[in-house]
DNA sequence: CGAGGGTTTGAAGTGCATCAAATAGTGTGG
DNA sequence: CCACACTATTTGATGCACTTCAAACCCTCG
C-alpha cells in the first residue's frame, strides 16, 4: 500500500513521517458500484484516497436533481476540502465503478500542511491548476454545444501525443457521462450521433475509434478559448 | 496605502516584513474604465491588488466571444495564479469600473508563501472556498433558468442579515452582468422583467427594491442545492 | 441638440429538455 | 444454454428557453 499512497500527485512533497503516520492510521476498503462514501454535510473526520475505480462527487437539490461536481479516476483524493472551517463535506461521494479507497484522518493531513511548506505549496499548485480546469468547464457550458462538449471530453481522454488512429474507451456509463457534461441522456445519444457524422468517429458501445484526431479537434475546439492539447492536468476528470 | 494592502483577506497571515517589502516594491496606479491590465498569455511578473473599482477577468475564443471568469470587487487580488508553472496569465484582465490597483512582484509573494505557513494556509483556505463557489456557479448553469440566476445573483449582493425592505444597486452594466451570468443582454432584460412579475421586485435603472427577500429566495433558490444564506464567501463576485 | 452606447422590445429560429416508447444489452435463475 | 427481468441506450414527437437578428427607445454627455 505504501507506494500507492506515496505516489498520489496531490500528496507529493509530504514528509516520510507524514506518510508513515498516514499508513499507520489509514484503513483500506473496497466499495462496490453504487456505494455512498459519505453524504453532503456529514461531519468530516477523514479524507479519502482513491487507488482504483471511479468516484462521483455530487450535490442534489430538494427535488432530487443531481449536479455533478466531478468524477474522479484512481490517483485522486477527495473529501479533503473541509480541513478548514466547519468541517462538513460540501458534497456527497458515490462509487460509480468498483473502487479501492484508503480512509485517512484529516487531522494528519492538516498537521502536515501546517508544518511542511513543500506539501502546502504542492497542494496550492494543484488547486490552482484545478481551478483553471474548472474555468474551462464553465466556459464550455456557455460556449460549446452538446456535440462539441462530447468531442472535447473525448479529446481529454486521449494521450495527446497519440499519432494516427486512436481508440478510446468511455470510462463509465453514457448516462453518467451525459450528467457529467450537463446534458440529458437523450441529448447525449443524439449529440454523439451528430458527432459521428460530423467528424467520422466510429462508436461501438463504449469504444470510440478514429483515424486521426484532426477532425475532432477542429470540430470541438473551434468554439473554445484554449487550443488543443489543452489537457494540462494530471489527468481527465 | 499600507492599511489597504494589509487588510486584503487573501493576504491575511502575511508577515510584517512581507508587507514591508510589498509596500516598498508595489506601484499604485489608477485605471480608467475599459483599460486592459494584462492580456492572456502575457509573461507574469506581477500580481495585482484591487483597492477600488471593478475588474473583469475573461478569456476569448478566436471569433472574439468572451467568456467571463470573474468580476472582482475591491479587496481582491488577481493575476497571482501563475506563481507556479510557466508563469503566463491564464486570462485577460480589464477594468470595468475605474479602479485603483497596486502592482506588486509575484516573486515577493512566492517567497513569502514558501516560508510562511500561515499565509499559505490562508491562501489554501481561500482557494477552497473559491472552488466551492465555482461549483455552485457550474451547478447554476445547468439547474437554474435565466430569471433564477439573476435572482440568485441579487441575493448574493444583499447583506444576509438585512430585514424588511431592501435596496440593491447593480454594481456594473446590465450587459456585463448578463455576460457574467452566461446569457445574452436581451435574455437578461426579458428575464429581469419576468423576475419582476414573479417576485414583486421593483427595478429602476440600476436600482432594485423589494419589500422582503422571501419571495425572491423561494423563487430563485428552489432549483439550487444550497439554501439561502449561501453566500459564505468574503463577498460577491 | 445630436451622437453613441446601453437597454428594451419584437419576430423568428435553434438547441436542448421532456415525455413516451422501442430496442439493445446484461445478468439472473431455471 | 435459454428465457426473463431489468437497466442502459436509442429514437420519435413535441414544447420551451434561450439565441439571433432587427429595430426602437432611452439616457447621458459633449
Instruction: Output DSSP code: residue B116.
Output: -
Q: Do A132 and B224 touch (CB under 8 A)?
A: no
User: Distance in angstroms, CA of B217 to C1' of C13?
Assistant: 33
Q: Do B127 and A132 touch (CB under 8 A)?
A: no
Which residues does B55 contact at the CB level (< 8 Å), separation at least 6?
A: B37, B48, B71, B72, B76, B78, B93, B94, B95, B96, B99, B101
Q: What digits encode the pLDDT tens for the residues B127-141?
A: 999 999 999 999 999
Identify the pLDDT of residue A236. Answer: 38
CA B184-B187-B193 angle, 5° bins: 145
Q: Do B84 and A124 touch (CB under 8 A)?
A: yes
Could you tell me which of B146, B19, B42, B56 has the C-alpha nearest to residue B90? Answer: B42
Identify the pLDDT of residue B236. Answer: 37
Q: What digits encode the pLDDT tens for the residues B28-74?
A: 999 999 999 999 999 999 999 999 999 999 999 988 899 999 999 99
Can you list the positions of beta strands (E) in A61-117? 66-72, 77-78, 92-105
Tell me what the pLDDT averaged over chain B comes to.
Answer: 92
Contacts of B128 in chain A (CB under 8 A): 81, 83-84, 127
Identify the pLDDT of residue B3. Answer: 64
Residue B90 has pLDDT above 60, yes or no: yes
Instruction: Output DSSP code: residue A11.
Output: G
Instruction: Output DSSP code: residue A73.
Output: P
In chain B, what percentage of residues exceed pLDDT 90?
86
Average pLDDT estimate for B8-28: 96
Write b or e for each residue in A179-214: b if 16 or more Cβ atoms lie within 10 A of its Cβ, otherwise e: bbbbbeeeebeebbebbeeebebebeeeebebeebe
Asked whether strand C has any atom less than 7 Å from the CB of A145, the reply is: yes
How far apart are the CA of A59 and the nearest CA of chain B, in angstroms? 6
DSSP string, A132-186: HHHHHHHHHHHHS-HHHHHHHHHHHHS-TT--SSEEEE-SS-HHHHHHHTTS-HH
User: Could you give the dihedral angle defined by the CA atoms of residues B85, A78, A147 and B137, in that order, rounded to the nearest 10 degrees?
Assistant: -80
Identify the pLDDT of residue A133. Answer: 93
Beta-sheet pairing, B202-204 with A166-169: unpaired
Identify the pLDDT of residue A233. Answer: 52
Locus of grid cell 460530423? A198
Q: How many residues does chain A have?
A: 237
Nucleotide nearest B172, CA–C1', reads C6
Write b or e for each residue in B122-142: b if 16 or more Cβ atoms lie within 10 A of its Cβ, otherwise e: bbbbbbbbbbbbbbbbbbbbe
User: Distance in angstroms, CA of A98 to C1' of C16?
Assistant: 32
Low-confidence residues of chain A, pLDDT below 70? 1-3, 86, 160-162, 232-237
In chain B, what percentage of residues exceed pLDDT 70?
94
How far apart are the CA of A187 and the nearest CA of chain B, in angstroms? 14
What does the block give as the cell for A236? Answer: 481527465
Amino acid at each position: 500500500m505504501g507506494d500507492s499512497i506515496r505516489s498520489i500527485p496531490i500528496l507529493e512533497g509530504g514528509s516520510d513521517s507524514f506518510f508513515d503516520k498516514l499508513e499507520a492510521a489509514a484503513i483500506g476498503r473496497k466499495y462496490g458500484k453504487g456505494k455512498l462514501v459519505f453524504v453532503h454535510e456529514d461531519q468530516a473526520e477523514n479524507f479519502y484516497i482513491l487507488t482504483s475505480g471511479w468516484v462521483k462527487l455530487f450535490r442534489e437539490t430538494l427535488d432530487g436533481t443531481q449536479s455533478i461536481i466531478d468524477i474522479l479516476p484512481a490517483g485522486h483524493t477527495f473529501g479533503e476540502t473541509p480541513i478548514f472551517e466547519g468541517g462538513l463535506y460540501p458534497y456527497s461521494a458515490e462509487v460509480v465503478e468498483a473502487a479501492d479507497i484508503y480512509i485517512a484522518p484529516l487531522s494528519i493531513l492538516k498537521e502536515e500542511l501546517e508544518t511542511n511548506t513543500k506539501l502546502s505549496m504542492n497542494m496550492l499548485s494543484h488547486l490552482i491548476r484545478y481551478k483553471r480546469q474548472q474555468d474551462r468547464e464553465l466556459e464550455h457550458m456557455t460556449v460549446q454545444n452538446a456535440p462539441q462538449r462530447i468531442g472535447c471530453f473525448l479529446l481529454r481522454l486521449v494521450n495527446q501525443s497519440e499519432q494516427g488512429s486512436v481508440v478510446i474507451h468511455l470510462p463509465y456509463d453514457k448516462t453518467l457521462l451525459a450528467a457529467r457534461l450537463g446534458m440529458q441522456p437523450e441529448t447525449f445519444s443524439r449529440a454523439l450521433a451528430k458527432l459521428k457524422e460530423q467528424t467520422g468517429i466510429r462508436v461501438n458501445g463504449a469504444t470510440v475509434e478514429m483515424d486521426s484526431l484532426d477532425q475532432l479537434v477542429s470540430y470541438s475546439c473551434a468554439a473554445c478559448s484554449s487550443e488543443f492539447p489543452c489537457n494540462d492536468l494530471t489527468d481527465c476528470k
